[in-house]
Chains A and B, each alone.
Chain A
Amino acid sequence: MTTASASASGPVPGHGGRGASGPATVTATDLSLRFGGTRALDGVSLRLSHGVTGLLGPNGAGKTTLLRVLATAVPPDGGRFTALGHDPGTPSGRLALRRTLGYLPQNPGFHPDFTAFDFVDYVAILKELTDRTARLGEVRRVLEAVDLSEVRGKRLKRLSGGMRQRVALAAALVGDPGFLVLDEPTVGLDPEQRMRFRELIAQAGEGRTVLLSTHQTEDVAMLCHRVVVLARGRVRFEGAPAELTARAAGRVWSSAERDPNALAGWRTGMGAFRNVGDPPKGADLVEPTLEDGYLLVLDGDDAAVGA
């Protein structure tokens, strides 16, 4: 396969060097897509490399649209991208990319009468695994990876929402794809499963390119070596999570009363108010988090905050 050639020559991003990113495996330039009057993507350019990249953004920011474009589910109106050396603008490039792609849609649909095993098997067939023995082995492997071997024979309509989410992730993992596109994979999971998922996704990010959208800044802080913030179809930030956190350095303070000048402020469990914005003189500055940085990045776009 030619897929690895783009990256094989460069340094492999080490586990310790989360901020550092290797050579680009996915490069998008000026992607745009409109739905009627809505610019869902408005000139998005970004570079992904091996490892897990997080995509943050408020509701309606265009995350799902961007992931669909990168997963070849819809072609963009404008702009182009290449992934793992393939150009999905051409039929052969698109096919080659699809052969090495794993995609978890935001609302994965199911055939309710299928069992978990049937469903993953079905996706494996869509992914051209026609040899029965190899296919069954692969289905077993991914079901085990998401810890669902026990319920593989249960019908999907009898599984809980979180279990179905795991079945969908298993389907995305079929065939060990080099490029994984996951739309809100941790939504609806209990904390224990969320941790397992993160482990699993981090593992998948070793030597592969993973792009995941999420509303959970913790997902990004714990998992991602890079983060992209999208709002109103535009990239507001692209860099290491630490850089995003650093955006809030000196801009988070605590006070006894809500500070009217703060962009955002809320009472914490400890009783004091935590404020984000431009602190007054002598404010009691506190350590910023990734979420603070995220809120500040969105601040340039008032309507985006809490939209």
Chain B
Amino acid sequence: MTWHVSEDDLRLYAQGELAPPLLWSADAHLTGCAPCRARLAETADPVALDAAWERLDAELDAPRPSTVERLLVRLGVADHTARLLAATPVLRRSWLLSVLFLLVMTVLAVRMVGQPMLFLALAPLLPLAGVALSYGPSLDPTYEMAVVAPLHGFRLLMIRTVAVLTAGLVCNGAATLALPGYGLLAVAWLLPALALTGTGLALSTRLGSVLAPSLVGGGWLALLAVGELQTRTHETLAPFTAAGQAAAAGVAAVAALLLYQGRDRFDARPLGGFRDGGAV
């Protein structure tokens, strides 16, 4: 073994003040390294030491956090927040893989047709769907427990929204890089994506976590269809023009404001019914 716990870390560890991820490395190391355990025993005063042993004991029970969680903690996310994120259904590998698959197919199609509209129409829908599915009864199997827990629903929603939005935007961004020929037009999905996601969330406390994003997504497609009919060929669709982008930014801002103002509703009543609820 080449690495050992440093004196400083050992002292912090004994006092229970070492934070993850260093804490985890120390735990993992101490369980396997007798010399370091001996040094720990010398470092600490007996009372603190008892606490440290107890903590080490508890820590050994805790399963090693998943790769995603460890990564998040390394990025500076608190370990409890990382665990809340790890429970987000749409951040599971199977979901991310299907999103990537969809994007790859779209990029291929765009390259074949030589027209980016398909991608621009789809890209804003992905974050909308991802965010809608990550909070609420439809996909979160423990939603009923989350509702009655003291942690604010809005806080949980925001933690997951930020994560899903980041993941979605990164996926979209990667797809954009695969379409270098279109210049700035290829990122025209970003503001509509924020507008749709914000509107979907703001409406979810009234319409439920399925109907709200469905209506918003449907509205988006309808808007594009109408635009398509009214524009002459080879002209950019309205939402992706400068005026359309400004409108999308406006909608996103208003939706964010409304969402924030209605934040307490997420605690007052569940979004839609529960799974297995009665006759439903």
Q: Say whether A95 contacts B150, CB under 8 Å.
A: yes
Q: Say whether B61 contacts A113, CB under 8 Å.
A: no
Which range contains the number of A residues in contact with the other chain? 35 or more
Q: Say whether B79 contacts A132, CB under 8 Å.
A: yes
With a cutoff of 8 Å between Cβ atoms, the chain A residues found around residue B151 in the complex are 125-128
Number of B residues, CB within 8 Å of A: 43
* B141 interface neighbour in A111, A133, A140, Cβ under 8 Å: A111
Q: Say whether B278 contacts A35, CB under 8 Å.
A: yes
Given contacts A117-B62, A121-B62, A152-B61, whether A130 and B80 have CB atoms under 8 Å apart is yes
Given contacts A98-B149, A122-B83, whether A133 and B144 have CB atoms under 8 Å apart is no
With a cutoff of 8 Å between Cβ atoms, the chain B residues found around residue A115 in the complex are 63
With a cutoff of 8 Å between Cβ atoms, the chain A residues found around residue B42 in the complex are none
With a cutoff of 8 Å between Cβ atoms, the chain A residues found around residue B87 in the complex are 111, 114, 122
Q: Say whether A99 contacts B145, CB under 8 Å.
A: no
Query: Any chain A CB within 8 A of the CB of B148?
Result: yes
Interface 1/0s, chain B 80-95, versus A by CB < 8 A?
Answer: 1001101101001000
Query: Any chain A CB within 8 A of the CB of B71?
Result: no
| Cα–Cα, bound, A132→B80 (Å) | 8
Query: Any chain A CB within 8 A of the CB of B118?
Result: no
- Which residues 101-126 of A have a CB within 8 angstroms of B? 101, 103, 105-111, 113-115, 117-118, 121-123, 125-126
| One of A23-31, A70-78, A217-225 contacting the partner | A70-78
| Cα–Cα, bound, A220→B120 (Å) | 61
Report which B residues bind A (CB closer than 8 A): 16, 20, 23, 54-55, 58-59, 61-63, 78-80, 83-84, 86-87, 89, 92, 140-151, 156, 264, 267-270, 274-279
19 further A-B pairs in the complex, CB-CB below 8 A; given A91-B264, A95-B150, A133-B55: A60-B278, A94-B267, A98-B149, A103-B145, A105-B145, A106-B276, A108-B142, A108-B145, A109-B141, A111-B89, A111-B141, A113-B92, A122-B83, A125-B80, A127-B150, A136-B59, A136-B61, A139-B61, A152-B63
